[in-house]
Amino acid sequence: MTEKSVQVDGLKTRYLEEGAGAAVLLLHGASLGSSADVFARNLAPLAAYGLRVIAFDQPGFGLTDNPKDYSVTYRRRFIVHFMDALGLDKASLVGHSQAGAMAVGLAFDETSRIAKVVVLGTGSLLPPLPGGAKSAAGEGEEGGAAEPTLNDSRALLEHNLFNPALITPEALEKRHRMSLGKNFQAFIERGKTPRGGGKDAVPIWERLHQIPVPLLMMYGKQDRGSAAERVALLKERCPSLNLHLLEGAKHLAQWDAASEFEKLTGKFLAS
């Protein structure tokens, strides 16, 4: 795995890369402390399927500069600009949490640029349970009103993991470091950004059967928000979807169920 940087929209953008072949972009979620590093352990196993695997820090995350525009719309558009900066005409997208909806949206809006989409743990792409509350627009944007302590960062990781033994000192230190300074400032600014989608907007999960590229969806069976029950409901409504529950996994399913995530994703993207 190599760590590199590139200028995108005037922002110094950090990314991790491994392998050669068809390009795959791994997109992290929006929780405080998120960065390309949430996929660091998955790059080599996925690259072994003959793929060029790239994970980048989105604007306002990790070691990438903070943008002027903190909206989800800008971060979604930035994906295509990042592809342009790397000379990628087409790529597959793996979107975790909030980024799953970004990837699906791009598949509809930029179909010629997107080969395949993998969704991982995106609650907004699941139907609500009968009588249940709808998903919050700020999906995955966990964090507090003040810069986190090291214990706060540990608690957030524990909340998102089924297996807390995966929180090594190195993983905790990096997650905490990515939660401070300019990244915490960006987190506060994202919280001030208006959300898209009015009350009359059609939920994107109702259009998943119309997505114009191959789609694979995965969720941790023990993830929050009644994920398992909502996955069953989506499968009932759209039986043709390629939809999987990962046993022994919460929101960071790429850690909890790394082997199954890598096997399903690698075979799907390499086929």
pLDDT at position 28 over 60: yes
What percentage of the chain reaches a pLDDT higher than 70?
A: 95
Which pLDDT belongs to residue 137? 41
pLDDT in tens, 72-90: 999 999 999 999 999 999 9
Contacts of 122 (CB under 8 A, 6+ apart): 95, 96, 97, 98, 99, 100, 101, 104, 139, 217
When pLDDT is cut at 50, 70 and 90, the band that residue 134 belongs to is low
pLDDT in tens, 238-250: 999 999 999 999 9
* C-alpha to C-alpha distances, 216 to 23, 100, 147, nearest whole angstrom: 16, 11, 36
Mean pLDDT of 6-12: 98
Q: Where are the domains of the chain?
A: 2-196+203-270
The rounded Cα 49 to chain-centroid distance in angstroms is: 20
Answer for the pair 66, 60: CB distance below 8 angstroms, yes or no.
Answer: yes
When pLDDT is cut at 50, 70 and 90, the band that residue 136 belongs to is very low
CATH dotted code for 2-196+203-270: 3.40.50.1820
Strands 114-120 and 91-96: parallel
- Mean pLDDT, the chain, as a whole number? 94
Which pLDDT belongs to residue 259? 98
When pLDDT is cut at 50, 70 and 90, the band that residue 116 belongs to is very high
pLDDT at position 27 over 90: yes
* CB atoms inside a 10 Å sphere around CB 69: 14
pLDDT at position 135 over 60: no
Mean pLDDT of 186-198: 83
Which pLDDT belongs to residue 131? 78
pLDDT at position 200 over 70: no
DSSP codes, 43-56 = HHHHHTTTEEEEEE
Answer for the pair 9, 67: CB distance below 8 angstroms, yes or no.
Answer: yes
Mean pLDDT of 173-190: 97
Which pLDDT belongs to residue 142? 81
pLDDT in tens, 201-239: 788 999 999 999 999 999 999 999 999 999 999 999 999
